[in-house]
Copies of this chain bind each other. A is one copy, B any other.
Amino acid sequence: MDLSIFFVGTGGSVPSARRGLPATLVRLGADRILIDCGEGTQRQLLRSDGLADLTDIFITHHHSDHWLGLLGMLKTFELRERERPLTVHGPPGTKALLERFRVVFGRPSYGLSFVDLEPDEEVRRGGYAVTSIPVRHRGTAFGYAIVEDTRPGRFDAELAKALGVEFGPDFGRLQRGETVNGVRPEQVIGPERRGRRLVFSGDTRPTDHIVAAAYEADVLVHEATFTDEDVDRAQQTGHSTARQAAEVAAEAEVGLLALTHLSTRYHGREIRDEARAVFEHTEVPRDFDSIEVPLPDRGEPELHRWEPPRRPAPDPAPAAN
């Protein structure tokens, strides 16, 4: 199943000409999971990957640069006559926060729910789960882990035949865990294969909760609002420096570290260089870049730079407002 991370907005707190406000899209098979939704996210998507009917939305915390784009997007889904229900998940208080803004998006006919998650709560979906990770920002804030279900081990058909099991129903019995003609499943089936694991820190100071959740993750998307020159400021405002994020990645032994939520004072190179001095497999995506995450035995996660299409994607034609 295809899995990739599409960086919709890689800035923090205020937008810049180059970086939109926080939003990251996870594309897992046909599912589209949005993490955070800063102002302008719907337009960023229209200008790049297209504005899909999102499967779920997860908000990391209640600072407005992380959710303000929801209001217009929820309204647009209604104008586009979306039919599929949509749930917005977030830390405690998310439901109350968004209910205050009903005046904007009303009661959409597609069925809209808001869910307050507890820390370490798991939201199960087909083939994967999303889990909230308590982090250390100003006020309650979550990171999220998206983890694929474990896949069964490889079945060695040649070996099974050599041991005298015939191709046909007996193969199925072995794969379901039954012993067939004295051949035990573990003789012909390899160890379970772990699913891919992506972790998103949200806004946070460095925290062991992210180290634990991201242990051997394929990709850790961590905030790096500052460089180490501003380490005191990072501490005061509940943010991380590039070096700190890289230390988290190194301790967690992740496959690839991607840094986002850059203050407008940085271009990206300073952030990347500082992090790479600690953890080499670091990227600083720009808006619309993506990271493809292959199955663990098929390669390493890799950054793809955005190339604009020759023509913009066709726009939907909704009712007028």
- The interface of chain A, by Cβ under 8 A from chain B, is 12-18, 20-21, 39-40, 42-43, 46-47, 63-65, 68-69, 71-72, 75-76, 79-80, 97, 100-101, 103-105, 225-226, 233, 237, 239, 263-265, 312-313, 315-321
Q: Nearest-CB distance from A315 to chain B (Å)?
A: 4
CB distance A43 to B46 under 8 Å? Answer: no
Known contacts A17-B312, A40-B40: A320-B69 contact under CB 8 Å: no
Determine the chain B residues whose CB is within 8 A of the CB of A16 once the complex forms.
46, 312, 315
Chain B residue with Cβ nearest A101: B101
Q: Determine which residue in A14, A18, A65, A233 has the highest number of CB atoms from chain B within 10 A of its CB, and name it.
A: A14
- A72: chain B residues at CB < 8 Å are 21, 39, 64-65, 68
Bound-state CA distance A259–B103 (Å) is 29
> Given A63-B321, A68-B71, A104-B64, do A80 and B315 touch, yes or no (CB 8 Å)?
no
Interface contact B17-A69, CB-CB below 8 Å: no
- The smallest beta-carbon distance between A233 and chain B, in angstroms, is 7
Contact A15 B39 (CB under 8 A): no
Which residues from chain B contact A237 at a C-beta distance below 8 Å?
319-321
Question: Residues of B contacting A20 with CB < 8 Å?
Answer: 43
Would you give the shortest CB distance from A32 to chain B, in whole angstroms? 18
Q: Which 8 A-B pairs have the closest CB atoms?
A: A13-B321, A17-B312, A16-B315, A40-B40, A265-B317, A39-B72, A264-B315, A15-B43
User: Of all chain B residues, which has the CB nearest A16?
Assistant: B315
Chain B residues whose CB sits within 8 angstroms of the CB of A39 once the complex forms: 39-40, 42-43, 69, 71-72
Contact residues in B for A69 (Cβ distance below 8 Å)? 39
A224 to chain B, nearest CB (A): 11
Do A320 and B71 have beta carbons less than 8 Å apart? no
